[in-house]
Structure 1
């Protein structure tokens, strides 16, 4: 990311915060943008509150929503994903800047695929944020599982094989080739598991010739977007 881009991306926000959730607290919506492997630690505190009607869990999640449903009740659980993602260094959160004229889509949905008045209300809240728009989906579980398939058994191992060094990865053709082949296997395995690849256009990546794919990855690996992705690992 260029110094100019970094400067534009720096923002300091002062928000009212609380250090815990009381059983008697009333909120219309609680958004949980956490790593999936950390949410189990806070589920008892969320479940102890019976007044909050909606918890929106936004994270990489290939395991489905059943753990959250068991703790909170199906009627109180929604799922989504927090584009554009980011990573934390010290007390600073790093993420790609959003543009008001080209709002970033935030996919959200009910766990049963329905679209209700509640779904639209939550979408309206998220769309009120500058640079974002809610995308209501009826296939949120498939979307989340497809997203994980595109990253965890594919890109992540390729990046780790290059010591999580962006320049090393950008210059390592073998890593790009293995990534291409891993993507095919991951998408096929995901589909074989009964998941509908979502969005369907993702399958088009399998038709990209390997030399072209390698060239594309080598260029993308030098972009600010990829720097943000690398922060995940």
Structure 2
């Protein structure tokens, strides 16, 4: 389970393409007071945004992807399969980079962000630019349930403004963004690499990429 827009060549170099399986979790958690694990599995409403997803780089003669998904489901973790995980993960990065950078502008606080509609619009514009970059480079927007992100920006921003005020935003978006600043920086640089390769004008992505996390404000 990895979070990357840069592909999987490093894994292929070590074990070979046929042995690479790719996945991404719909789950989050933290350690509280040094010894208590608090976590949340992606069920219910969360699945509108993300479901644990598994796939493989090279198709094999037996259904190992379905077998793995079945193991997760038996453990109580809703799971789906995907035949194009590289596109899935690039789509994910285009979305989460915009959300994280917009959150960083407001100290990692989703409620504060929700009160600044212009910044929510900027976040949505960056998401839409990122998806346009991927299409320009020949990638799919996956999963298809993210179709709503192509709606007019003000409509998508209105939905996000509402979601940002919910517990879902804190547990599924903000908490990880605050604790994974280094990871988000890597993803941001990977996304900017795709932007450069597309030669597209992406003012919203560039604006948000210039924000440095500062949770002291």
Q: TM-score, normalised by structure 1?
A: 0.64
Q: C-alpha separation between the residues in 2 aligned to 1:213 and 1:192?
A: 22
* Equivalence map 1:1-233=2 (5 Å): 58-87=1-30, 90-97=34-41, 105-113=51-59, 116-130=62-76, 132-152=77-97, 154-210=98-154, 212-228=155-171, 229-233=173-177
Q: Deviations over 1:31-82 (max 9, x none)?
A: xxxxxxxxxxxxxxxxxxxxxxxxxxx1212111211111122232200111
Distance 2:9 2:105 in 1: 33
In 2: Cα distance, 1:91 partner to 1:208 partner = 45
CA distance in 1 between counterparts of 2:61 and 2:161 reads 40
Task: Structure 1: give runs of 5+ residues left out of the alignment.
Answer: 1-57
More helix by share: 2
1-structure distance, mates of 2:72, 2:103: 32
CA RMSD between the two structures: 2.6
* Secondary structure, aligned partner of 1:108: strand
Q: Is the 1:114–1:138 contact (alpha carbons within 8 Å) kept by the matching residues of 2?
A: no
Structure 2, unmatched stretches of 5+, are 178-217
Q: 4+ residue runs of structure 1 moved beyond 3 angstroms?
A: 85-95, 97-100, 102-105
Cα shift readout 1:91-112 (whole Å, capped 9, x = no counterpart): 5544335559x99842111112
- Deviation of 1:186 after TM superposition, in Å, equals 0.8
Relative contact order, higher structure (CA 8 A, sep 6+): 2
Larger gyration radius, structure 1 or structure 2: 1
* Structure-2-length-normalised TM-score: 0.69
